[in-house]
Amino acid sequence: MKRTAVWTTGAIAIAALTLTGCGATEAPVEAGDDDGAAAEAITIVDGRGEEVTLPDGPAQTVVALEWNQAESVVTLGGELVGLSDVDGYTSWVGEAAPLPNEPTDLGVRTEPSIEAVSELEPDLIIGSLRSIPEEAMEQMERIAPVALFTGADAADPLDVVRSDFETIATLLGAEERGAEVLAEFDETLEANAARIEDAGLVGTPFVFASPYADGANVTVRMHGPRSATQAVATEMGLTAAWEDDGDDGYGLSNTDLEGLTALPDETEFFYWDNADEEDVVKTSLAGSAVWESLAFVEDGRVHPASLGIWAYGGPASMAAWSDDIVRALGA
């Protein structure tokens, strides 16, 4: 998948977050008690503000149309029967939350194959607000209950990470495992904040960027102070080097090479790495007079990072990202 496709559609593994727990498909919740009573229906309110009801209790057969929600299912111990762009998930998310099975590929995110979903006969379809074209929603809801999530809110990015994850845990009947994962996430942030303090790095200006090239033009996507990745870094004691608030969803903004001159000289510049993609820093930025003149470039404070870790993911990705920061900084 080309790096540009990541934007048009939307290698540290945390073992404690990916252990099999109360599951979606591989560890079904009992349908009733010893007297054979029917399972209690589950109702949640999704990102659309719509009530979504699972009449037969926790979901057992789940289809995910977006990687964030797919990651949550996997982290909670589930196995997806279907997933949009399986190869892309493996490349961009798979280090933090590897797939435990081989789900059916449903096609491109935001353009799922309705026929492929129908053939899988899921009891839950899960994704983001942009996962299903409006004209296809009625058809998709005929197949199974559909729960769509915002996935991000720059007003409080980590609160959305936690609340969406808790809701998905409810849909899977995995509330206990969900609480364990979130507790482990908080412990990871606390431990890594201590490492940053011990290394004398508290207050260090930090930024996470994703440069990509279109011919000779380079655009740098900046994860600003309201992004989830910066929120993790901030909780660890680092400060936001890039001050633009960005969009109201993911806290993202774009700049060009000249825009990077606004970053403080002491910035630790992290950029998104991917083994299956061109390294734009090495192929398009290196050798540029502007790039080479930046103080953090001259001082060697440029770090490829987030390999196989989804910057827009759930607790597993955010915990892996926290660990990746201390790794790259040698803290």
Inter-residue contact 308 to 93 (CB < 8 Å) = yes
Mean pLDDT across the chain, nearest whole number?
Answer: 90
Read off the pLDDT of residues 228-264 as tens digits, 9 standing for 90 and up.
Answer: 999 999 999 999 999 999 999 999 999 999 999 999 9
Reply yes or no on whether the pLDDT at 35 is more than 50. no
Taking the C-alpha atoms of residue 9 and residue 282, their distance in angstroms, rounded to an integer, is: 25
User: How many CA atoms, within 13 angstroms, populate the side-chain half-sphere of residue 326?
Assistant: 25
Taking the C-alpha atoms of residue 153 and residue 160, their distance in angstroms, rounded to an integer, is: 6
pLDDT at 215: 82
Reply yes or no on whether the pLDDT at 316 is more than 90. yes
Reply yes or no on whether the pLDDT at 321 is more than 60. yes
pLDDT at 331: 87
Instruction: Please choose, from the candidates 276, 285, 282, 331, the residue with its C-alpha nearest in 3D space to the C-alpha of residue 304.
Output: 282
pLDDT at 257: 94
pLDDT at 38: 64
pLDDT at 214: 87
Query: pLDDT class for 325, splitting at 50, 70, 90?
Result: very high
pLDDT at 221: 98
Reply yes or no on whether the pLDDT at 16 is more than 70. no
Reply yes or no on whether the pLDDT at 28 is more than 50. no
Which one has a higher pLDDT value, 137 or 14? Answer: 137
Instruction: Please choose, from the candidates 46, 317, 19, 28, the residue with its C-alpha nearest in 3D space to the C-alpha of residue 172.
Output: 28
Query: pLDDT class for 37, splitting at 50, 70, 90?
Result: low
Alpha helices in 133-174 (DSSP H): 134-143, 157-172
For 89, residues 6+ apart whose C-beta sits below 8 A from its C-beta are 67, 70, 83, 99
Q: Which two tokens stand for residue 8?
A: 């048009």
User: How many CA atoms, within 13 angstroms, populate the side-chain half-sphere of residue 75?
Assistant: 39
Taking the C-alpha atoms of residue 27 and residue 5, their distance in angstroms, rounded to an integer, is: 35
Within 10 angstroms of residue 329's Cβ, the number of other Cβ atoms is 21
Read off the pLDDT of residues 182-217 as tens digits, 9 standing for 90 and up.
Answer: 999 999 999 999 999 999 999 999 999 999 998 888
CATH class of 3-185: alpha beta
Query: pLDDT class for 225, splitting at 50, 70, 90?
Result: very high
SS (H, E, C) the chain: CCHHHHHHCCCCCCHHHHCCCCCCCCCCCCCCCCCCCCCCCEEEECCCCCEEEECCCCCCCEEECCHHHHHHHHHCCCCCCEECCHHHHHHHCCCCCCCCCCCEECCCCCCCCHHHHHHHCCCEEEEECCCCCHHHHHHHHHHCCEEEECCCCCCCHHHHHHHHHHHHHHHHCCHHHHHHHHHHHHHHHHHHHHHHHHCCCCCCEEEEEEEEEECCEEEEEEECCCCHHHHHHHHCCCEECCCCCCCCCCCEEEECCHHHHHCCCCCEEEEECCCCCCCHHHHHHCCCHHHHHCHHHHCCCEEEECCCCCCCCCHHHHHHHHHHHHHHHCC
Reply yes or no on whether the pLDDT at 323 is more than 80. yes
Domain 195-329 in the same topology as domain 3-185? yes
- Kindly state the average pLDDT of the residues 74-78: 96
Read off the pLDDT of residues 149-183 as tens digits, 9 standing for 90 and up.
Answer: 998 999 999 999 999 999 999 999 999 999 999 99
- Kindly state the average pLDDT of the residues 299-321: 97
Residue with tokens 């790096």: 3
Beta-bridged to residue 107, according to DSSP, are none
Read off the pLDDT of residues 131-146 as tens digits, 9 standing for 90 and up.
Answer: 999 999 999 999 999 9
Instruction: Provide the sign of the torsion angle of the four alpha carbons 137, 141, 144, 149, taken in this order.
Output: positive
Instruction: Provide the sign of the torsion angle of the four alpha carbons 113, 116, 119, 123, taken in this order.
Output: negative
pLDDT at 22: 33
pLDDT at 259: 97
Q: Where are the domains of the chain?
A: 3-185, 195-329
SS3 percent helix, strand, coil of the chain, rounded to 5, is: 40, 15, 45
pLDDT at 78: 93
Q: Which CATH number fits domain 195-329: 3.40.50.1980, 3.40.50.1400, 3.40.228.10, 3.40.50.300?
A: 3.40.50.1980
